[in-house]
Amino acid sequence: MDPNFWHQRWQEGRIGFHQERITPLLERHWDAVSAAPGSRVFVPLAGKSLDMAWLAARGHRVLGVELSRLAIEQFFDEHALAPEIRETRYGTHYSAGDIELICGDAFDLDAAALADCRAVFDRAALIALPPELRTPYLRELYARLPPGCRGLLVTLEYPQHQKQGPPFSVDEADVRAGLAAAWTVEVLERRDILDREPGFAAEGITALSTVAYALQRRDLAAA
């Protein structure tokens, strides 16, 4: 998807995808990830998600990546943090406390950038990508996370023909097809949320579920 699409959404304040609360499935299922205190958690397409502050408050170090500089600046401003700023080949890094956000393209991150990420939390990234980018995202970017990495993935499922994404519908078959070669995938919860999403109902969506998956990357060399 054209990065300008996301830049324009942030500039115009059309950020309905941003939640003004912690993701309920994160609060409910993060313990199932078994990420050790102090471990680094990768948050792709991070926006200014409150989930990052929640993870940091749980004792994790957070590494987020986000295209929009405006989103990153708003995150630190809204949390009264003054980040240090530096440049690398991955983009512009903003760091304060246990949170580091890279203003750049997630697809530009290599294994070296993600080497110490022991966990991943993906709520807004996979469902933001159209089908043609979804498979490269799962098979290439997720492959750069280290063996043993654990994760919590949150998706949406709805009749795709009833709505033009983003967010896109990503069903269990898509998740398994993209990850099964290198990751174990376990469904933790599938919940009907249509009655809590009036915007989707107003667009004519007839069914809407959110799904939480526990992930663990296998050590393929050992296998």
- Binding-site residue numbers for S-adenosyl-L-methionine are 10, 45, 66, 123
66: buried, middle or exposed (CB in 10 Å: 19+, 13-18, 0-12)? buried
Q: For the chain, what is the total number of helices (H) and then of strands (E)?
A: 7, 9
166 with 203: CB under 8 angstroms? Answer: no
Residue found under tokens 């995150």: 75
Residues contributing to the annotated binding site: 10, 45, 66, 123
d(CA 45, CA 10): 13
CB crowding 85-95: b at 16 or more within 10 Å, else e: eeeeebbebbb
